[in-house]
Amino acid sequence: MVYKSINPYTGKINKTYEQINDSELENIIFSSSRAFRKWKNEPIEKRQDLLIKLADLLEIEKDFHAATITSEMGKPINQSIVEIEKSALACRYYAERADEFLKPVKQSSYAGTSIIRYDPQGIVFAIMPWNFPYWQVIRCMAPALAAGNSVLLKHASNVPQCAENIENAVINAGFPSGIFRNLLIDYDQVTTVIKSEYVRSVSLTGSNTAGIRIASLAGLNIKKLVLELGGNDAFVVFNDADLEKAAEALIYGRFQNTGQSCIASKRLFIHEQVYPEFLNLVTGRIKALSAGDPISHDTFIGPLVNESAVRKVERQVKETVEMGAEIILGGKAGIPRKGFFEPTVLINVNYDSPLAREEVFGPVLPVFSFKDYDELVCRVNQSRFGLGCSVFTSDNKLMEKLSVDIDTGTVVFNSFTKSDPALPFGGVKESGYGRELSEYGIMEFVNIKTVTVY
């Protein structure tokens, strides 16, 4: 298999890479396991210092890394820069807090006193997506390395340059050889890695199709697994909301990364009393979004990742219109040029249509109205996914009730849903299981070992 890095805006090939063969893979797994045995006994301060060096390096080389993201998957450059800054922040977060999270704890028990230790597991295998090609890798890798594991990465096949750059940054920061390796491998070789006795944990961020396959393999081989899958998040506007603020947040919530985010606000629910006013406000802002060359600092909407992504969004919109929805803005592929999908708003959307039920990875916003609390909660929770939800209201009592009733991994009030190194991130239902980031994220990659002396 040849890996092709293709610029989604120009259609030109940036670079190609060859897949590694099975014996090369075997050697890499073995050297990763050897690197782990040394690394796990290094003082944690050393692991933390290296993470700081990696953060410094990412910041120094920010423009280079951001340009690679943009040329490889089409993210508008300002947003690529933010992605690198946030990735550096995640390294700093674990560099500053890992020793505290991993400190052994004394625990009194029926036996007397025991010690709970947080030991590394071995090799962590990270299988990652293209949509945040640095952030997704680093939010898994930083806690895994801080905890004393080694990491093997199988990145999405359309972002091999990002994968190579991350590996180089890790080496240049001074991490020991073999501790983090990028693997150019196919799906059969993914199976080989998961089966390996040295690989103790798997972390997949990706689609539900990949989730089913990787969860089955991990299950068959009894490997610990974190699954970060798709989402169909709601964005809710109550009648007491600050409408200007909500409209501004929704632009980022739905349209940043050209709508290709797991926690994008993919369904808009507006209280009937403010429906016309809010719809007007938000469509006005969407019309003003500039689409064009993602390398320009003036661009907010870039191309979708590839032509098949455009065709998928087109199909989802078409079928939703066939089920009765009305397009009030946009709706077409190929504008302003091939590879793009226009920012699109639809009303009168059927709850059984693709835009209501499926994950839509593009700049498309289906709008629903609601009358009361019970109807809203029922509609928001009527999804196979359960990643996040954003709600705009000024009523504190309502916030308390919704925090309990909304069935997702994250609920955000008066902003759009975003991840933060210090906050646990993950989903329920078909959005997956396990948590990334925060103290909970590092705990996914440790052996919680109980030591008792009788």
**Residues between 260 and 279 that touch ligand NAP (CB under 6 A):** 262
- Among 26-34, 152-160, 161-169, 441-449, the segment contacting ligand NAP (CB under 6 A): 152-160
Yes or no: say if 126 and 151 are a contact pair by the CB < 8 Å rule. yes
Whether 85 is catalytic is no
Beta carbon of residue 130, minimum distance to ligand NAP (angstroms, whole number): 5
Check residue 359 for interaction with ligand NAP (CB under 6 A).
Answer: yes
Mark 233-262 with x for binding to ligand NAP (rule: CB under 6 A) and - for no binding.
Answer: -----------------------------x
3-state secondary structure of 364: strand
Q: Which of 136, 256, 283, 316 binds ligand NAP (CB under 6 A)?
A: 136
Name the residue type at position 55.
Answer: A
* 160 contact partners, CB below 8 Å, separation of at least 6: 3, 5, 15, 17, 184
Check residue 205 for interaction with ligand NAP (CB under 6 A).
Answer: yes
Check residue 130 for interaction with ligand NAP (CB under 6 A).
Answer: yes
Place of tokens 């820069």: 81
Q: Which of 190, 236, 347, 367 binds ligand NAP (CB under 6 A)?
A: 190
Check residue 30 for interaction with ligand NAP (CB under 6 A).
Answer: no
Yes or no: say if 227 and 429 are a contact pair by the CB < 8 Å rule. no
- Among 68-76, 368-376, 426-434, 438-446, the segment contacting ligand NAP (CB under 6 A): 426-434
**Residues between 207 and 236 that touch ligand NAP (CB under 6 A):** 207, 210, 213, 228-231
Adjacent-strand bridge partners of 301:
291
Between 141 and 347, whose beta carbon lies closer to ligand NAP? 141
Whether 389 is catalytic is no
Beta carbon of residue 436, minimum distance to ligand NAP (angstroms, whole number): 7
Yes or no: say if 359 and 260 are a contact pair by the CB < 8 Å rule. no
Yes or no: say if 434 and 143 are a contact pair by the CB < 8 Å rule. no
Between 48 and 265, whose beta carbon lies closer to ligand NAP? 265
Check residue 202 for interaction with ligand NAP (CB under 6 A).
Answer: no
**Which residue out of 83, 228, 342, 359 is catalytically annotated?**
228
Sheet holding 150-154, edge to edge: 180-182, 150-154, 123-127, 199-205, 224-228, 432-433
Check residue 129 for interaction with ligand NAP (CB under 6 A).
Answer: yes
Q: Which long-range contacts (C-beta less than 8 Å, at least 24 apart) are formed by 375-379?
A: 376/236, 376/269, 377/402, 377/405, 377/406, 379/234, 379/269, 379/351
Nearest-angstrom CA–CA distance, 147 and 445:
7
Q: Which of 129, 61, 136, 146 is nearest to 95 (CA)?
A: 146
Q: Which of 75, 155, 254, 267 binds ligand NAP (CB under 6 A)?
A: 155
Q: Which of 275, 263, 280, 257 is nearest to 363 (CA)?
A: 257
Active site residues: 228, 262
Applying CB under 6 A, which residues contact ligand NAP? 127-132, 136, 154-157, 187, 190, 205-207, 210, 213, 228-231, 262, 359, 387, 427, 431-432
